[in-house]
Structure 1
Amino acid sequence: METEIILTSTATQKTFKSYLFFWAGQLFSMLGSSITQFVIVWWITISTGSIVMLSIASFTYMLPMAIAFPIAGVLADRYARKKIIVIADSLQAFVTLYIIILFNMGMAEPLLIIIINGLLGLFQGFHIPTVSAIVPTMVPKEKLSRINGITYLFTGFIHIIGLVIAATLLAFLPIKLILWIDPITFIIAIIPLIIIKIPRVKKEKTLDKKNSFIKDFSEGFQTLKLIPVVSMMLLLSMFINFLIRPFNILMPYFVRFIHSGAASDLALISVFTYVGMLIGALITSIKKNWKHVISIYFCGEFLLMLPMVIFAFAPQGYFLLMGFAAAGFGLLIPILNTIYMTLMQKKVPPDKMGRIVSIDWTISTAISPIATLFAGFIADIIGVRTLF
């Protein structure tokens, strides 16, 4: 028997202020995670010198995340989202502490770290859809577009800082000390989360109180079918993700072994990427209304391919040229994502938002583990530059 839902708007000025407090804490957590992931990926790159190992590292991180997304979406619509975030974030902190212990005891082996890092991907798979699902319940509709743009603006800024900090610290400190930043930022981020109240979507006239997991998840697909524009965007995103995955995954190897670069060169390219994201996010935060959003989105997705062409033909050691290409890539990301997320948040019912977000992330990233392994093994045969 179906469950009849009456939607109740929960987003007010009070919840919006609470969201900003929560979001500020998440920025600290993001900073710690950014530094940690950069350091771990660079360590795997220089420790193994293997394209295949680098692709396996990404595969073991992405696969658990992709598996967790649909489960997390249903849980986020069934249970208290605040508890889910607290549990997922706490488990991530404990895993990072375990990695720190391994490095301090001299027991860190690339394969072991790769497997453990997969747990971080798993917990992120629960964190991301849940946090995304609470946005429309705490941010008023008229502020959604701008808050999405501002979110990408600050996200890009935090990642720039994280990359600069990580590259600088790698030149002076051992990894076992740098990794402590992540647990420290977790403590800072958890304080606002504990203090604020996250509203739960109200359901009324419930005719059938217990739905199975499969039924809940299938309702998300049924809802998605009723919004064809979002469905088309989602499918295109999956296709583009498959094409650009080698570009993202093999960049550390490309910089270190193809162009004889250092961690600072990889950080430089990454900083340019996030500077582009900052500019794109600034544009989206200033521009309130977009015209021809569908055309902008679909054209923009295909323009993301251009930087890969520039990287493939860049002369040896031309990291500045690569940086400008990466900045163009970064510029498009917040614009395209803001258009997509705003459309989704406006069209999807709040009580199904968790499931839709999880379906979105699942489909968009489901191809990533396959593309990751494909990229590693093919690049090992034909070369990274040729694959780009």
Structure 2
Amino acid sequence: MNTQWKKTFALIFSGQIFSILTSFMVQFSIIWHLTKTTESASVLMIAGLAGFLPQALLGPFIGVWLDRWDRKVTMMVADSAIALSSLILGAYFLWGESNVWVVYLILLIRSAASSFHAPAFQAAIPLIAPQDQLTRVAGWHQLVFSSSSVLGPALGIAVYSATSLGTVLLLDVVGALIANLMLLLIKINQPKPENSQAPSFRKEFILGWITFLSVKSVVTITVAMAVFSVVFMPLAMLFPLMTLSHFGRGGYSASLIEAVFGIGMILGGAILSAIASKWKDSTYMSLSLVLIGFTCVLSGVIGSNAFIAFIILSFCMGAAAPLFNGPYMAIIQKSYEPEKLGRVLSFVTSIGLLSSPIGLALAGPIVDRFGVQVWFFWSGIVVILIGALIFFMVSRKEDICGRQESNKQ
């Protein structure tokens, strides 16, 4: 019984790595296609908005349904919807060059389906793994995610260059089918809803919001995360533009940057899995943000002939990322009851995603006028300040509370 949960995760992750891998291939290929054909930061920001807005707007309401529905079935249906959107867009590109507005529409559909899949997956994890292993499982998830982020852009640009964007999109359908097959082989026990809970959407929604607000440290970190999303999320869309406009390099160089970022994430996920219990979760998060901030600042000042330096900085930025993402999700999973976790996760996800469009809307005009490095530099300054804020408001407060508890005993 002690090892059964590990076998379950082995099946889940073996399927998810195919789905995540092909999603990375699609994501990078679409971004590079738009970058190459338009060379416009505004077009990239609109694509980013199309990818974020549905998740942000639907998220707060989806949590109620997630806590009612079977989480495994929800993941499978969402993955199938994403695959269907890839199939439709792939057919468009195979038949001929698609209009950019068709791309935006498909990104909207994929985002809406992802708004169900991601929180359903995260809400299912505490139903399988012991609570004291949640941070370690978060590290495993970061490893799967990071490995896909290394191979995805490289494979995506290779298939895109050799064939077309349509072929890349069709491969995403195969990835979703494999992920669903693996999910069919496992069992996830759905938590029972509260006996006192009335079958009212409004009451369940309010209860979820009250539950989220009940843990002050999570609220503080989530607000900080929202500010982080405003300044950092646009960078995901700007890396290819940085490679093309600042360094004057092509698609393979852009995929190399994505690959080294992913290799860094693999290292960061491995480190998190190995030392998960050494420090508090909030300490890892503070360290992560400070490191990410410094790499962004340095990226914002390097010259156009310093592409090697940008590769190293991208690697370090990637290595720091899991030290924020993994512990943040583990804190949430440890702080709330499983039967309410779907609603909390959807609130948290939506807060971050609602912040992202603000950054995307600001980044497009600013980058088009002042250059991509300006956004890298000032986003780094803000991220460093957020890391310091989490350390002084959460980490040190936890230390003080811990010492007070020890003195009482």
Match of residue 119 from structure 1: 109
- C-alpha distance after superposition, 1:150-172 (max 9, x if no partner): 21122211211112212322332
Match of residue 285 from structure 2: 297
Identity of aligned residues (%): 26
Provide the rounded CA distance (Å) in 2 between the counterparts of 1:168 and 1:108: 20
Contact 2:29/2:153, CA 8 A, preserved across alignment: no
Contact 1:12/1:140, CA 8 A, preserved across alignment: no
Contact 2:197/2:204, CA 8 A, preserved across alignment: no
Provide the rounded CA distance (Å) in 1 between the counterparts of 2:336 and 2:2: 18
- Of the three residues 183, 199, 209, the one matched with 1:210 is 199
Give unmatched runs, 5+ long, in structure 2.
Answer: 377-409
Deviation of 1:298 after TM superposition, in Å, equals 2.9
Q: Is it true that 1:98 corresponds to 2:81 in the alignment? A: no
**Residue pairs, 1:132-211, within 5 angstroms:** 132-203=122-193, 206-211=195-200
CA RMSD of aligned residues (A): 1.8
Match of residue 398 from structure 2: none
Deviation of 1:382 after TM superposition, in Å, equals 2.2
- Of the three residues 45, 53, 56, the one matched with 2:35 is 45
Provide the rounded CA distance (Å) in 2 between the counterparts of 1:151 and 1:249: 23
Match of residue 240 from structure 1: 228
Provide the rounded CA distance (Å) in 1 between the counterparts of 2:268 and 2:197: 45
Task: Name the aligned partner's letter for residue 19 of structure 2.
Answer: S
Provide the rounded CA distance (Å) in 2 between the counterparts of 1:363 and 1:140: 27
Q: Is it true that 1:338 corresponds to 2:326 in the alignment? A: yes
Q: Is it true that 1:61 corresponds to 2:57 in the alignment? A: no
Deviation of 1:293 after TM superposition, in Å, equals 3.7
Match of residue 23 from structure 2: 33
Match of residue 279 from structure 1: 267
**Residue pairs, 1:65-80, within 5 angstroms:** 65-80=55-70
Task: Name the aligned partner's letter for residue 26 of structure 2.
Answer: T
Contact 1:48/1:110, CA 8 A, preserved across alignment: no
- C-alpha distance after superposition, 1:307-366 (max 9, x if no partner): 222221121142221111112211111112222222221121111110111111111121
Provide the rounded CA distance (Å) in 2 between the counterparts of 1:61 and 1:208: 34
Task: Name the aligned partner's letter for residue 186 of structure 1.
Answer: A
TM-score of the pair, normalised by structure 2: 0.87
Match of residue 83 from structure 1: 73
Contact 1:244/1:305, CA 8 A, preserved across alignment: no
Deviation of 1:20 after TM superposition, in Å, equals 2.7
Task: Name the aligned partner's letter for residue 124 of structure 1.
Answer: S
Q: Is it true that 1:318 corresponds to 2:311 in the alignment? A: no
TM-aligned CA distance change 1:299 to 1:196, over 3 Å: closer
Provide the rounded CA distance (Å) in 1 between the counterparts of 2:43 and 2:108: 14
Deviation of 1:211 after TM superposition, in Å, equals 2.4
Contact 2:281/2:331, CA 8 A, preserved across alignment: no
- C-alpha distance after superposition, 1:67-115 (max 9, x if no partner): 2222222111011112211211111111101101111111411222122
Provide the rounded CA distance (Å) in 1 between the counterparts of 2:280 and 2:13: 30
Task: Name the aligned partner's letter for residue 21 of structure 1.
Answer: L
Match of residue 352 from structure 1: 340
Provide the rounded CA distance (Å) in 1 between the counterparts of 2:276 and 2:168: 40
Provide the rounded CA distance (Å) in 1 between the counterparts of 2:235 and 2:311: 13
Q: Is it true that 1:254 corresponds to 2:234 in the alignment? A: no
Provide the rounded CA distance (Å) in 2 between the counterparts of 1:203 and 1:312: 49
TM-aligned CA distance change 1:117 to 1:208, over 3 Å: closer
Contact 2:93/2:164, CA 8 A, preserved across alignment: no
Contact 1:34/1:163, CA 8 A, preserved across alignment: yes
Provide the rounded CA distance (Å) in 1 between the counterparts of 2:170 and 2:322: 30
Q: Is it true that 1:270 corresponds to 2:270 in the alignment? A: no
Provide the rounded CA distance (Å) in 2 between the counterparts of 1:44 and 1:171: 14
Deviation of 1:134 after TM superposition, in Å, equals 0.2
Deviation of 1:124 after TM superposition, in Å, equals 0.8
Match of residue 379 from structure 2: none
- C-alpha distance after superposition, 1:46-80 (max 9, x if no partner): 11121111111111111011122222221110111
Contact 2:160/2:167, CA 8 A, preserved across alignment: no
Q: Is it true that 1:19 corresponds to 2:9 in the alignment? A: yes
Match of residue 8 from structure 1: none
Task: Name the aligned partner's letter for residue 231 of structure 1.
Answer: V
Deviation of 1:178 after TM superposition, in Å, equals 2.7
Provide the rounded CA distance (Å) in 2 between the counterparts of 1:67 and 1:344: 21
User: More deviation in 61-70 or 29-38?
Assistant: 61-70
Deviation of 1:269 after TM superposition, in Å, equals 1.2
User: More deviation in 15-24 or 118-127?
Assistant: 15-24
Deviation of 1:123 after TM superposition, in Å, equals 0.8
The alignment of Structure 1 onto Structure 2 pairs a total of residues equal to 376
Provide the rounded CA distance (Å) in 2 between the counterparts of 1:177 and 1:52: 26
Deviation of 1:149 after TM superposition, in Å, equals 0.8
Provide the rounded CA distance (Å) in 2 between the counterparts of 1:313 and 1:361: 32
- C-alpha distance after superposition, 1:253-280 (max 9, x if no partner): 2211232111111111111211111111
Task: Name the aligned partner's letter for residue 258 of structure 2.
Answer: S
Provide the rounded CA distance (Å) in 1 between the counterparts of 2:104 and 2:312: 31
Q: Is it true that 1:219 corresponds to 2:207 in the alignment? A: yes
